[in-house]
Structure 1
Amino acid sequence: MTYRTIRQRFLLSAGSTVIMSLLLAAAANSQASTTDYGSSPRAASSANAAPGSNRDTDVQMHFWEQLTLEPKDAWSQLRDSFQWREQSLSAKAQARVDEWIDYYLESPENIAAITRRATPWLAWITQKVTERRLPGELALIPFVESSFDPGARSHRGAAGLWQFMPRTGDALGLVRNGHYDGRLDVITSTKAALDYLEMQADQWYEGDLELSLAAYNAGAGTVNKAKRRAERQGLKGEYWDLSLPQETMQYLPKLLAIATIIDTPERYGVSLPDIHSEPAFAKVKLDHSVTLAEASRLLEVDRSALAELNPGLLNGTLNAPSAQTLLVPEDVDQQVLAELSNGGNDRRTVADGSAPATYRVESGDSLSVIASRYDLSAQELMRLNAIERPEALQAGQLLTLSER
């Protein structure tokens, strides 16, 4: 049973056609995805466990959140968005799904580990999927692709939650340089993945997202050839009719299997972690560079927490214009976020009116000048900021001015 997009997409522009050409070229050399589970259930490898207000203001409340008498968690919202649970599969297709259900249930600790790893991201990804009126099952693609590890890298070069290959990411506009990899940035890569799935579905498959998922994994060229071959044999050319590479043959069954388990976890004896219905992070738009160490001091947030939320920052520094958005924990104070967004020059002051806590270095500044301005010695300023060479001071750098 196929799924056609509910909204009628506008005709692809010339720019989209160029992008699709680039994507086809990228897919010809490598597959777009890599999984942790191998090409068949029995050959699959186990996933490693990983530990896992201010709201994302651009997210609108969904109608069921306004009508329900009891607040829902992220899992309930995800289940509400499922659209494929009622599809009627052939006995052969259902057997392929059931085989993966059995496989996952052999290692429930892996399900627990992956779902814990999904904690920061699941509510936000689910909201982005449902905003597009897409099947909620697509929010679980990172389960199949990367075990919900935003820093995942495959031996073939795919990276991030959505496991984009370099050339595919390039074609979708995901910036890569020495400071930043957009494939690892959950915000940008999620948008790119959903755009890619919808664009392929409209371009090649008349809105059929199951075929688009196959193309996401194997490349549109591979799927198109298999589709034409099936149609010549008198078949409809749907996903379940196609003869594809083994990994792609297992791709949709795996996705439907984990969706089935999450839909009724009590039936399968699976315990899911508590995940709040709202995103676990806030977004700060920046037009200046900042290091995670600087942001950690200003926001009074552990640096490792910022690093976990911002895996795309390869050297721990947000360098505009490569990246403009920093993710921070949802409970960070709004005033402090505004200070960070403004470059740190609206610095907090203590109640008694003493010196500010931080200073943003400006062009022409020197350590001695800054130190004397705030009644510090240059040596003390260097110690507070772990500066080894005074001449390494750079405009835009955020300095802490006290032990507070």
Structure 2
Amino acid sequence: MRQRFLLSAGSTVMMSLLLAATEQHAAAMPSVAGAATLASSSYSSPQPTSYRASSGTSDSTSHGTPAGITATVAHPSLTPDVTSRSFFWDAVDAVPQDAWTQLRKSFTWDIDALPPSARARVDKWIARYRQSPENIVSITREARPWLAWITQQVEERGLPGEIALLPFIESSFDPGARSYRGAAGLWQFMPRTGDALGLVRNGRYDGRLDVTASTGAALDYIEMQADQWYGGDIPLSLAAYNAGAGTVNGARRQAQRQGRGGDYWALNTLPGETMQYLPKLYAIAQIIGDPERYNVSLPEIHAAPAFASVTIDRRITLKSASRLLDVSQSRLARLNPGLLQGTLDPGNARTLLVPSDADRQAIAALSGTDNRSGAQVASTHRVERGDNLSAIATRYNVSQQDLIRWNAIDRPSTLQPGQLLSLSGG
């Protein structure tokens, strides 16, 4: 696995991450057992808001959008170009797929390759989840605003698609989830871990609850630990995400002394939560991979992300933004749980998530970059404290790979406050 997030020795960030890695992350996070009801979760969860993008939602990975809009273009045409030597079957790959199909295509784990004892652990969780398929349906409905975008982020990094389902286990896909021990957000970061990863946290804003910021931090963390400690081994990195690298490394040393090897499935002294962490993820991926087999009906989720990311350089309340966009304030609040007091303050965050089916001109006016005024699209970005490539890419609707290529970035961890990044290949 290519090195993406290595930290220089002696840096204060490295020290913070090493401290954060020893936190018992697992103990602070809610588990979602198939036989349990959602009401029994240990964190507080607001009533889910109905959210569905219209069939005309646009693809956030596209370029050439109006200034200030990061996700609003039409689906690709399904009509082959008859002026070229193309035929109807050439257009098959252009047919927009739903998010579930997109996710399944990115799955890489092979359950049949597991040793019998590991397979038995996964099968146990499949059986438990099958006892209450309605719980899976409820949680996947919560995933509707987020799944397509998270899948894209995971794919861009070349990570196993199964990682996009980690919030199923961590938070039931509730971005406002809080555990009684202090973990918060879709990815259930503990405070120290979030701080070490650059997620701003104060009385007005909590980056752990910001879906785009926390997703970037979570994937950075998984990659960093895989590269730093485990030679790119993702299952071990996920165990460390749950229990802390110190705990996993100790369990590996003990297993190796006993001649059992050092892979995740050979470890038998991890905390109970961590022992079940990968079996749960394998199990839910199996069910999502073949829902008919397990008698689960998944909600429709479009392949295009359900939100657009708008950069705003002024203070604005969700109430004002909702009036300008002509969408409900509750809908905006659902997309922006990190804004603790309902106000976007550029001192904390400059990105507001809005429904992707909102009016384009209204979005442009909200961002202050309405093309009719002759405003220019940003061509550079100056790195600020807490920035990471994922968040920057989302903000300007470009891919991380493009940012890396345009700026000759060897390692994302080398970003420095004040560094100027080009946002185009020109």
- TM-score, normalised relative to structure 2: 0.74
Q: Conserved in 2, the CA contact under 8 Å of 1:34 and 1:146? A: no
Distance in 2, matches of 1:78 and 1:16, equals 39
Q: Conserved in 2, the CA contact under 8 Å of 1:33 and 1:164? A: no
**Does 2:136 align with 1:142?**
no
Q: Hey, what does 1:56 align to over in structure 2?
A: 60
Deviation at 1:66, TM superposition (A): 7.3
After TM superposition, the structure 1 stretch with the greater mean CA deviation from structure 2, 78-87 or 67-76, is 67-76
**Does 2:160 align with 1:153?**
no
Distance in 2, matches of 1:42 and 1:107, equals 6
Q: Conserved in 2, the CA contact under 8 Å of 1:74 and 1:123? A: yes
Q: Hey, what does 1:278 align to over in structure 2?
A: 304
Distance in 2, matches of 1:233 and 1:282, equals 52
Deviation at 1:25, TM superposition (A): 1.5
- 2:330 alignment partner AA: S
- 2:171 alignment partner AA: S
Deviation at 1:11, TM superposition (A): 7.8
Q: 1:101 to 1:76 in 2, by over 3 A?
A: same
Q: CA RMSD in A?
A: 2.7
Give the gaps of 5 or more residues in structure 2: 51-56, 64-70, 77-89, 374-426
Q: Hey, what does 1:26 align to over in structure 2?
A: 20
- 2:31 alignment partner AA: Y
Distance in 1, matches of 2:223 and 2:112, equals 20
Q: Percent identity?
A: 60
Q: 1:11 to 1:141 in 2, by over 3 A?
A: closer
Deviation at 1:18, TM superposition (A): 3.9
Q: Which of 204, 208, 213 is equivalent to 2:238?
A: 213
Aligned runs of 1:112-123 on 2, under 5 Å? 112-123=137-148
Deviation at 1:131, TM superposition (A): 0.6
Q: Hey, what does 2:262 align to over in structure 1?
A: 237
After TM superposition, the structure 1 stretch with the greater mean CA deviation from structure 2, 134-143 or 228-237, is 228-237
**Does 2:341 align with 1:315?**
yes
Q: Conserved in 1, the CA contact under 8 Å of 2:310 and 2:353? A: yes
Q: 1:19 to 1:298 in 2, by over 3 A?
A: same
1:265 match: secondary structure: coil
1:157 match: secondary structure: coil
1:183 match: secondary structure: helix
Deviation at 1:87, TM superposition (A): 5.3
- 2:314 alignment partner AA: H
Q: Hey, what does 1:223 align to over in structure 2?
A: 248
1:68 match: secondary structure: helix
Q: Hey, what does 2:191 align to over in structure 1?
A: 166
Structure possessing the higher radius of gyration over alpha carbons: 1
1:128 match: secondary structure: helix
Deviation at 1:321, TM superposition (A): 2.1
Q: Hey, what does 2:200 align to over in structure 1?
A: 175
Deviation at 1:120, TM superposition (A): 0.2
Greater length-normalized contact order (CA 8 Å, ≥ 6 residues apart): 2
- TM-score, normalised relative to structure 1: 0.78
After TM superposition, the structure 1 stretch with the greater mean CA deviation from structure 2, 308-317 or 99-108, is 99-108
How many pairs align?
338
Q: 1:181 to 1:44 in 2, by over 3 A?
A: same
Aligned runs of 1:286-325 on 2, under 5 Å? 286-325=312-351
List per-residue Cα deviations over 1:223-273 (Å, max 9, x = no partner). 001011111111220000112000000000000000000000000100000
Aligned runs of 1:248-397 on 2, under 5 Å? 248-342=274-368
Deviation at 1:81, TM superposition (A): 0.1
Q: Conserved in 1, the CA contact under 8 Å of 2:26 and 2:274? A: no
Q: 1:93 to 1:155 in 2, by over 3 A?
A: same
Q: Which of 167, 191, 203 is equivalent to 2:216?
A: 191
Q: Conserved in 1, the CA contact under 8 Å of 2:205 and 2:339? A: yes
List per-residue Cα deviations over 1:307-335 (Å, max 9, x = no partner). 00000000000011201100000011221
List per-residue Cα deviations over 1:175-232 (Å, max 9, x = no partner). 0011100000000000000000000000000000000000000000000010111111
Q: Conserved in 2, the CA contact under 8 Å of 1:104 and 1:111? A: yes
Q: Conserved in 2, the CA contact under 8 Å of 1:318 and 1:324? A: yes
Distance in 1, matches of 2:359 and 2:102, equals 27
List per-residue Cα deviations over 1:346-378 (Å, max 9, x = no partner). 89xxxxxxxxxxxxxxxxxxxxxxxxxxxxxxx
Q: Conserved in 1, the CA contact under 8 Å of 2:34 and 2:133? A: no
Deviation at 1:32, TM superposition (A): 5.5
1:177 match: secondary structure: coil
Deviation at 1:138, TM superposition (A): 0.1
Distance in 1, matches of 2:308 and 2:37, equals 36
Deviation at 1:79, TM superposition (A): 0.1
Distance in 1, matches of 2:244 and 2:231, equals 17
Distance in 2, matches of 1:41 and 1:270, equals 12
Deviation at 1:34, TM superposition (A): 4.2
Q: 1:16 to 1:119 in 2, by over 3 A?
A: farther
Q: Conserved in 2, the CA contact under 8 Å of 1:33 and 1:145? A: no
Q: 1:151 to 1:136 in 2, by over 3 A?
A: same
